[in-house]
Structure 1
């Protein structure tokens, strides 16, 4: 299955449909953009970000445009908003395993974990 992500909007209790996400490969402070996409109605990508055959061991970053998402939902946010972009840096050690990186987010907090 490779690598996947899923975002839940904890303020509204629903998937974060329409949120923009950028996906990078990282080496130290250097980040190389691999893909940009918008989450579907279920708050997911269409299929895996990277399948197991293409997944390489190393470090990656998912950057979620949460500020623009909540503004588009009509949430009155201060300027600047408390959370604008949430970036998650993570490592892939075992390319034969599935890596799922979920994000639970509101305009004021977020959490993540290695999902299944």
Structure 2
């Protein structure tokens, strides 16, 4: 029950930040954005003390650890893969254009007799 109350309070703080953005419509944009950021920060702070918040923080830490284990491709591999993707897109575009024109010729010229 306490976790639900913490989560509800976190949502209320987030909503208060958004409401503050609109209530401060006469103020400078920086102040309005700070109101939203303060609401988000307060909501995250309160949510982090709940059990689901603690699980999420643990998940985020494990995700960062796993990301550090990834072997990222080199610049050369990235450029080569990107080139292959572009070449495939061009080939597929030409194929689809050819298929479209062939179907157009079959339907309009042969079947319907429109020229």
Q: TM-score range by the shorter chain?
A: under 0.3
Larger-gyration structure (1/2): 2
Higher strand share: 1
Higher relative contact order (CA 8 A, sep 6+): 1
Higher helix share: 2
What TM-score results when the alignment is normalised by the length of structure 1? Answer: 0.21
